[in-house]
Amino acid sequence: MDSETREKIKKTVRELLEEADMNEMTEYKIRQLASKRLELDLSESKYKAYVRHVVNAFLEEQKAKEEEEEEAAGDDNNNNNNEFDDDGDLIICRLSDKRRVTLQDFRGKTLISIREYYKKDGKELPSSKGISLTEEQWSTLRKNIPNIEKAVRKMESHTM
């Protein structure tokens, strides 16, 4: 295939991909739409392979962009908003004046703690009221948040 045709296919396929709903679009649909725009049968094997290459390259670029954006957002959050308690544990959020979520290292294990704090001698100290979850337990809880929310909604609808 000549370089002019190659460039036209690449440009058209990329335009279609940028406009597309990536949850609905398939390589086959892209090939069909590009065939219509270019008035060229892209189902021929020499074109089909090139369209696949362009689609894959586009998807890899999009994934890399998303990862960079997530990393940049994470860096912004980490650099500008880090708050640590008196024990040096990272405060993720404050649920109230006395309750907070922290990330801590305890005996070499990372724990997510949701705990009440009290003041003593000008320091805020963790109380025994709360829970510390391992990464595995936190992951299980996170996966079940939709089920918990559903149960809460159901319970609330019964009380109204």
What residue spans define the domains of the chain? 3-73, 90-158
- The highest-level CATH class for domain 90-158 is mainly beta
Distance (Å, rounded) from C-alpha 34 to C-alpha 54? 12
Distance (Å, rounded) from C-alpha 78 to C-alpha 38? 48
Residues 6+ apart with CB under 8 A from 86: 123, 124, 125
**Which pLDDT value is given to residue 13?**
93
In a 3-state reduction of DSSP, which class is residue 80? helix
Closest CA to 125 of 75, 88, 80, 78: 88
pTM summary value: 0.46
pLDDT (tens place) for every residue of the chain, 160 residues total: 899 999 999 999 999 999 988 888 899 999 999 999 999 999 988 899 999 999 999 988 888 888 888 777 665 555 556 888 877 889 999 999 899 999 998 888 999 999 999 989 988 888 999 999 999 999 999 999 999 999 988 888 877 5
Residue 17 near residue 55 (C-beta atoms within 8 A) = yes
Distance (Å, rounded) from C-alpha 126 to C-alpha 114? 10
Dihedral class, residue 21 (left if φ above 0, else alpha if ψ from -120 to 50, else beta): beta
Of the CA atoms within 13 Å of residue 34, those in its CB half-sphere come to: 34
